[in-house]
């Protein structure tokens, strides 16, 4: 997947920048050292990259979508831990449920609808297990 060079929100220029430039003092805590981020130089829409690469996880996200991706991540992580899955198994489950190739099965690249679908899947599956 490639990121457009033009921001989908504002038409600004998107540049590949080191994560330190975005996260600054929080870089280490967020384990983003030597990671790369595609960032709109105008509105700050952004998306991270696959670990140790310059391959974007998806399309750039504005603040609303970034918060949604974070919320989805929290729900997904809590879900697979509660199911006793390993991280690897969890991402296999995600890819299968969302009918995505492993390469695209990353919440950091999800669109709003995909976030909502995964949240529903987690809730639904969690309920079934509990019943």
Which residues bind to Zn ion, rule: CB under 5 A? Answer: 7, 9-10, 12, 40, 42-43, 45
Q: How far is the CB of 68 from Zn ion (least distance, A)?
A: 17
Burial class, 102, CB count within 10 angstroms (exposed 0-12 / middle 13-18 / buried 19+): exposed
In Å, how far are 21, 33, 45, 62, 75 from 41, measured between CA atoms? Answer: 12, 21, 8, 12, 30
User: In this complex, which beta carbon is closest to Zn ion, that of residue 39 or of residue 114?
Assistant: 39
Residue 18 and residue 11: Cα distance in Å, rounded? 21
User: In this complex, which beta carbon is closest to Zn ion, that of residue 46 or of residue 94?
Assistant: 46
In the structure encoding, which two tokens stand for residue 106, read together? 């990353």
**What one-character DSSP code corresponds to residue 124?**
H
User: In this complex, which beta carbon is closest to Zn ion, that of residue 38 or of residue 79?
Assistant: 38
Q: How far is the CB of 44 from Zn ion (least distance, A)?
A: 7
User: In this complex, which beta carbon is closest to Zn ion, that of residue 8 or of residue 92?
Assistant: 8
Q: How far is the CB of 31 from Zn ion (least distance, A)?
A: 26
Q: How far is the CB of 111 from Zn ion (least distance, A)?
A: 16
């Amino acid at each position: 997947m490639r990121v457009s060079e033009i921001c989908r929100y504002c038409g600004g220029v998107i540049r590949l920048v080191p994560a330190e430039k975005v996260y600054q003092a929080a870089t280490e805590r967020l384990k983003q050292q030597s990671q790369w981020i595609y960032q709109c130089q105008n509105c700050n829409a952004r998306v991270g990259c696959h670990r140790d690469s310059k391959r974007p996880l998806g399309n750039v996200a504005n603040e609303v979508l970034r918060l949604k991706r974070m919320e989805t991540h929290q729900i997904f992580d809590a879900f697979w831990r509660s199911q006793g899955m390993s991280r690897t198994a969890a991402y296999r489950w995600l890819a299968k449920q969302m009918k995505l190739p492993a390469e695209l099965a990353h919440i950091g690249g999800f669109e709003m609808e995909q976030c909502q679908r995964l949240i529903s899947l987690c809730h639904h599956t969690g309920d079934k297990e509990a019943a």
